[in-house]
Amino acid sequence: MEDEILVALAHRRRREVLQCLGEEDEISLSHISQELVEGEEYDNIYSVIKHKHLPPLVESGIITYEYDSEILSRGPMFDQTMRVLDALEEDHG
């Protein structure tokens, strides 16, 4: 499971998604996309997060994603993943 967590954390966008979710119990994909736009077009960031970054987070159990409502929530591996992320940030901070 640690390898899946590290793979999920390998991309900056995934870490940013998790940090957004860390502030809320659940959050919409559109809200996360708005938070992460940073000069990119909204439609592009929305699509990239949905199709590239959410699947590894869902498959590893870090988040759950309701496809109909497009709501993300914390999965069973969320807390463990955030502890790993915090430790990595301390080491590289």
DSSP 3-67: HHHHHHHSSHHHHHHHHHHHTSSEEEHHHHHHHT-TTS-HHHHHHHIIIIIHHHHHHTTSEEEET
pTM for the model: 0.88
pLDDT at 71: 98
Q: What is the pLDDT of residue 92?
A: 67
If one counts the domains in the chain, the total is 1
* Residue 47 falls inside a structural domain: yes
* Mean pLDDT, the chain, integer: 91
pLDDT-based confidence at residue 39 (cuts at 50, 70, 90): confident
Per the listing, tokens 């987070």 go with 57
Look up the CATH number of the domain holding residue 28: 1.10.10.10
Residue 7, pLDDT > 90, answer no
Domain span at residue 38?
2-86
pLDDT computed for residue 93 by the predictor: 56
- Domain annotation covers residue 6: yes
